[in-house]
Amino acid sequence: MKIILKTYFLVGILIAAAAVNLTLLYQSGQENTYESYTIIRVADLKVKVETFDSLANSIANGFEADREILKEKTNEFQSVLNVLEDGGVIRGQPIVVIPTILLGEFREVENSWNIVRDSLDQIQIRAVSNDEAKDAVNYILGKNGEMALSTDSVIKEVETLGRDFNRHEEITRELHELSKSIGQDALLISIGEDVGIREKLHEERIMFEVGIRKLLQIPTNDLDLESIGQISEELAPIPRENSNALRQLDPLWEAVQLRIKILEENSLHTEDFDVAFGSFKTQKILLISSLDTLIDSWNEEILSNSSQRGIIVQTLLVVDIAIFFLVIVVVRQSLNPLKIISTGMSRVKEGVYGEKINYKADDEIGQLVNTFNIMSDTIKQKTEEAKETDIAKDEFLSMITHELKTPLVPIQGYVDMLLGEHLGSLTEKQKDRLRIIKTSAGSLLRIISDLLDAQKLELGKLVVKKEKQNIKDTIDVAIQAFQPRASENKITIKQHLDKEILVPHDRERITQVLTNLLKNALDVVNPDTGVIEVFVEDSDKEVKINIKDNGPGIPIEKQGGLFKKFYQVDTSLTREVGGSGLGLAICKGLVEEHGGTISAESTPGSGTTFSFILPKDSEPMK
């Protein structure tokens, strides 16, 4: 089977398994989401029950407008129960049907709800107030302040009677506290908080009645003293002049006591309302309990189902992982020959040609291996041919440059003899022509020298003799060679190094580098305004020499090839600055032979800076 088809097949299996797994995970997640939302809605029912309680209390306190709200909330509760049983949507979210296993708990909720709903229906329609009890509460609350003031006045009168009336004073203080307590209990009854209050109010009425009778010398034989922890006792009569407040309290208490008896026997609500209200209070607790049971059972069921789904999902994940590793193994086996090819390509990159890859399979890799083997043989053959050509070219170039250089030496020598008029006098015009011959011969000799140096660098035959010498002296020698030309053209050459720096270098070769860079700078700056500066940056491990000019700069698109052989920034036939295009390439080679680097920075219109670095202790770069 073809590798590509095999890979597609295995990847298809992996994608299919992943799709099944994702589908199951999605379905499981959706089910869990819907079930969780449904349980939230069930929990909301508990909140609604508390809302029923609040509305029922509000109706009991006379807020008739809440009857319609109670009816609306009751219908909402029933609607949610219907959706839970049959399925549907609440607030835009799907609601799952109650699981069969939880129908028993759901029926308990329905049964409790039916009883609660009957009570709520009665609360909605039954009259609330018992007018007689309501009037009694209002009367007691209205007279409570007067009762408190009267008992306080009695206390003040008795306090002046002395030690023999200490018991009288004690009883009056109890009456004062009882009057306040009776008012508080009446207030609680008025707001519907009457659980246990009626019994307490009855006990307070008997205690007040016993106390006031003792103070008024009235018998207490007809009162149930034992039920309130009191005993019959005879007190000294209070003098008439000190009993005015007590005599005023007596009729007031009689009137209040009649109303208290009404409250003891009657509720503020009608009997029908009280029955419905009491039934609701009792069944509310059972309804909340049944809802809690349903929620707890459902959560346990979800946990159980999640555990089962988790096992299924985990199993599928294990299968996915196994298939994934199987795909990796198969693909790796199928593509393993690519590693052999990659190794072979690396060998070719390193210059090793002609090596063969042994792979016999008839697939895409086999075809690629066959092509590679043919390519390797071809490259080896072409490389050998190119080497032979290069050797022949180098030998020819070396020979021709040497042969060209040989006749130039006597030409320059005889021109010097003629200019020195050793062979006879010359006219000024003849001397000018001879100077042109001398200049042209010098230019030709420099070009030939550059060609020879470039060839020696190419063949690795250029000899560099490094000695630890003062780099300042080397720079000074190079600058002095150009001072006459600079002065003639009014160009300033500045050298900013004022100390000795010892650097291992071949003075002749580094002078050649500096000469090339300074000559280039002189060629491009304008007469009268040209400035060339030489900076030296010294550090522990190296020295950096910068040659900066204020010439026109080098176009950005031309900067990439500055250090290539035969590269000319100005390639026009009419360019003003001549040269072989080898100067910077030779500079680069010489600097690298010293173990350093060379670079250029130029901004069109702002000049150019050439920099080269010489290490203070380094081997030449290979």
Contact 66, 55 (CB under 8 A): yes
Say if 3-128+272-319 and 131-268 have the same CATH topology. yes
Q: CB of 288 within 8 A of CB of 57?
A: no
Local confidence band at 612 (pLDDT 50, 70, 90 cut-offs) = very high
Is 418's pLDDT higher than 70? yes
**Which pLDDT score is estimated for 395?**
64
pLDDT for the residue numbered 522? 92
Q: Model confidence over 70-119: pLDDT tens digits?
A: 899 999 999 988 988 888 888 888 888 888 888 899 999 999 999 999 98
State the CB neighbour count (10 A cutoff) for residue 455: 18
Task: State residue 621's pLDDT score.
Answer: 43
Name the residue with higher pLDDT: 195 or 58: 58
% of the chain residues with pLDDT over 70: 79
Domain 463-615 annotated CATH 3.10.20.30: no
Residue 576 scores a pLDDT above 60 = no
Q: What backbone phi and psi angles, to 5 degrees, belong to 363?
A: -135, -165
- What are the phi and psi torsion angles at 295 (to 5°)? -65, -45
CATH fold, domain 131-268, is: Four Helix Bundle (Hemerythrin (Met), subunit A) (1.20.120)
Give dist(CA 103, CA 97) in Å, integer: 10
CATH top-level class for 3-128+272-319? mainly alpha
For 362, the 3-state DSSP assignment is: coil
Other C-beta atoms lying within 10 Å of the C-beta of residue 575: 11
Domain layout of the chain by residue ranges:
3-128+272-319, 131-268, 353-462, 463-615
CATH architecture assigned to 353-462: Orthogonal Bundle (1.10)
Question: With contact defined as beta carbons under 8 Å apart, do 198 and 136 qualify?
Answer: no
Instruction: Give this prediction's pTM.
Output: 0.38
Predicted confidence at residue 13, as pLDDT, reads 72
